[in-house]
Amino acid sequence: MLENKEDEIQRIEKRIIVISILETPGAILLGLGLYGLFGADGDAFIEILNYREIAFAATIVGGAIMLWSIIAIIPLLKRKAQLAQQDN
């Protein structure tokens, strides 16, 4: 029984790592979009961020990816906590 819990905890940790890796482009897009919207003032280091529509779209897509990752990770963390608590 203990091995099954440890195996499940390891599977959960691997899924969390995969989701975190998939979240990285979302964080980058969100950051670039916010920079394009609020920080660039028409002089962005990437020319495309000077277009407000592009920066807004990057912010929305990045935020959606990050929201998805949060929604996916929370149940995994709860399950991992339950399994860890059962061991004690």
How far, CA to CA in Å, does 86 sit from each of 12, 48, 76?
Answer: 16, 52, 15
pTM (two decimals):
0.84
Tokens, residue 19: 């989701």
Q: What is the pLDDT of residues 26-42, one digit of tens each?
A: 999 999 999 999 998 88
Q: What is the pLDDT of residues 14-72, one digit of tens each?
A: 999 999 999 999 999 999 999 999 998 888 999 999 999 999 999 999 999 999 999 99
Kindly list the domain boundaries of the chain, sorted by start residue: 2-87
Tally of CB atoms within 10 A around 39 = 13
Which segments of the chain does DSSP mark as H helices, in order?
2-34, 52-87
Distance of CA 72 to the CA centre of its chain: 9
CB 26 within 8 A of CB 71: no
